[in-house]
Amino acid sequence: MHTPDPIIAAQVKQLLGEDGYAQAFAPIDQATGLPNAAYWSKDWLALENKRIFQRSWVFVMADAELEGPGAIKPLDVGGTPIMLVRGEDGQVRAFHNVCRHRGTQLVGEACAANTITCPYHAWAYRLDGTLKSRPHFHGPNQLERFDNGEAEDLALYPIRCESWNGCHFVDLSGQAPDLTTWMAPMLKRTSAFDFSNIRWIGKRSYTIKSNWKLVLENYMEGYHVFAAHPRLIAHAPMDVRWSGEWSENVFYNDYVAPEITKGRGDALPHYPGLSNEDSRRGLWFVCLPNFAVEVFADQFVVMATHPISPDETYEELHFFVVGDDAAAGDKYARGREELISMWDDLNMEDVELLERLQRGRRSAAFDGSIMSPAWEGPAHELAQQVIRAIERE
């Protein structure tokens, strides 16, 4: 049930305009998608951050990124600095990346440390977030130490954090439904693939001068493939493709390619027990807002998007293969390299277009799309998903 918060709904209408709002819910042949303001306005992004990215599960990292106790990954989620920390006990915890004393951002870059020490007045935190010591706080040369759990109220602010098959997610609100409930519409459609076998082999990071929704719209639609991606169209021609569709908060699309090709199933072990058809299937989904995944018989590739500003998105591609041998065996080294370079090439073809799309949204002549009912139904629905998620009580 969609119950809008009346104050937020009024802000949404003000930013999009009454007409902009109304047409987003019109049938596709009359709708024009979100108006330009949704791609340029800082106020609009603030709403998206507060109402979507801070109230939902957000993919933040692969478990294997943090190699041992003390490994730390800082990241901005929903416009707020957070960090992921592997503790002495091997657990990954998420904290707000901010010192309890005066609010300094604690960790600037991925690093490894036994203690998280603030660069401003050297308050020192343990890897589990508790405060260990603070020098000079009560006067010169007084070192206050907390060795017996007596400074609980001075610990780093914790964030709800859960994992699924080597992928970690945070929920800043602490109120989102269970992680598996959020993913359920995806899990239902992908039951032929046993994702407990996936193993991380690396990542690539990109900063794209484009709005995060353009990145997702582009990810969903197969319409541009014939014009933009020569190698991908050779793998899967237009006539095996369809528009895909949303089921609740999850977008799903797929095709069955005529045959497996380089970088897509030809050189690495497959998920166990796949049918012939599933071994040629390419499928991809988006669990809103940022867990976008593409699956072929031999891989699981996450595209995680984090808005930095209305016209800039930080994106990470995480590459997983199937089984320990595929991840570490020497005989699969070439296959792993091919997989990563295939994705890097494909992604760069999109980045160029995404930056042009963003610039085009500055045009005085353009304030909405003409959408193809054959291909762009899901992009049309993304506009509605975003509005509803913002407005939801």
The dihedral built from the CA positions of residue 211, 212, 213 and 219, taken in this order, carries a sign that is positive
Query: In the complex with ligand FES, which residue's Cβ is closer, 118 or 383?
Result: 118
Query: In the complex with ligand FES, which residue's Cβ is closer, 137 or 366?
Result: 137
List the structure tokens of 373.
């009912």
The reply on whether position 221 binds Fe ion by CB under 5 A is no
Counting residues that bind Fe ion (by CB under 5 A) gives 1
With CB cut-offs between 5 and 8 Å by kind, which of Fe ion, ligand FES, none does residue 104 bind?
A: ligand FES
Query: In the complex with Fe ion, which residue's Cβ is closer, 294 or 350?
Result: 350
Place of tokens 């976008």: 292
Q: How far is the CB of 290 from Fe ion (least distance, A)?
A: 17
How far apart, in whole angstroms, are the C-alpha atoms of residue 209 and residue 351? 8
What DSSP state is assigned to residue 69?
A: T
Q: How far is the CB of 86 from ligand FES (least distance, A)?
A: 22
Place of tokens 């595929």: 326
Contact window for Fe ion (CB under 5 A) among 74-82, 283-291, 335-343, 346-354: 346-354
Helices and strands per DSSP (H, E), number in the chain: 12, 18
With CB cut-offs between 5 and 8 Å by kind, which of ligand FES, Fe ion, none does residue 36 bind?
A: none
With CB cut-offs between 5 and 8 Å by kind, which of Fe ion, ligand FES, none does residue 101 bind?
A: ligand FES
How far apart, in whole angstroms, are the C-alpha atoms of residue 37 and residue 207? 21
Q: How far is the CB of 291 from Fe ion (least distance, A)?
A: 18
User: 127 exposed, middle or buried (CB, 10 Å; 0-12, 13-18, 19+)?
Assistant: buried
Binding mask 12-51 for Fe ion (x = CB under 5 A): ----------------------------------------
DSSP string, 203-233: EEEEEESS-HHHHHHHHH--TTHHHH-HHHH
With CB cut-offs between 5 and 8 Å by kind, which of Fe ion, ligand FES, none does residue 118 bind?
A: ligand FES
What angle, 0 to 180 degrees and rounded to 10, lies between the N-to-C axes of helices 377-391 and 212-220?
Answer: 140
The reply on whether position 298 binds Fe ion by CB under 5 A is no
End-to-end CA distance of the chain: 11
Query: In the complex with ligand FES, which residue's Cβ is closer, 125 or 284?
Result: 125
The reply on whether position 350 binds Fe ion by CB under 5 A is yes
> Which of 268, 306, 261 is CA-nearest to residue 282?
261
How far apart, in whole angstroms, are the C-alpha atoms of residue 170 and residue 347? 25
With CB cut-offs between 5 and 8 Å by kind, which of ligand FES, Fe ion, none does residue 350 bind?
A: Fe ion
List alpha helices for 17-166, DSSP H: 18-24, 37-40, 42-48
Q: How far is the CB of 121 from ligand FES (least distance, A)?
A: 3
Query: In the complex with ligand FES, which residue's Cβ is closer, 44 or 123?
Result: 123
How far apart, in whole angstroms, are the C-alpha atoms of residue 353 and residue 336? 27
Phi, psi dihedral angles at 306 (to 5 degrees) = -130, 115
Query: In the complex with ligand FES, which residue's Cβ is closer, 13 or 121?
Result: 121
List the structure tokens of 78.
């929903």
Query: In the complex with ligand FES, which residue's Cβ is closer, 118 or 167?
Result: 118
How far apart, in whole angstroms, are the C-alpha atoms of residue 153 and residue 224? 53
Query: In the complex with ligand FES, which residue's Cβ is closer, 61 or 118?
Result: 118
With CB cut-offs between 5 and 8 Å by kind, which of Fe ion, ligand FES, none does residue 179 bind?
A: none
Q: How far is the CB of 119 from ligand FES (least distance, A)?
A: 8
Neighbours of 289 (CB within 10 A): 27
Query: In the complex with Fe ion, which residue's Cβ is closer, 316 or 350?
Result: 350
Q: How far is the CB of 98 from ligand FES (least distance, A)?
A: 9
Residues that bind ligand FES (CB under 6 A): 99, 101-102, 104, 118, 120-121, 123
Q: Which residues bind Fe ion (CB under 5 A)?
A: 350
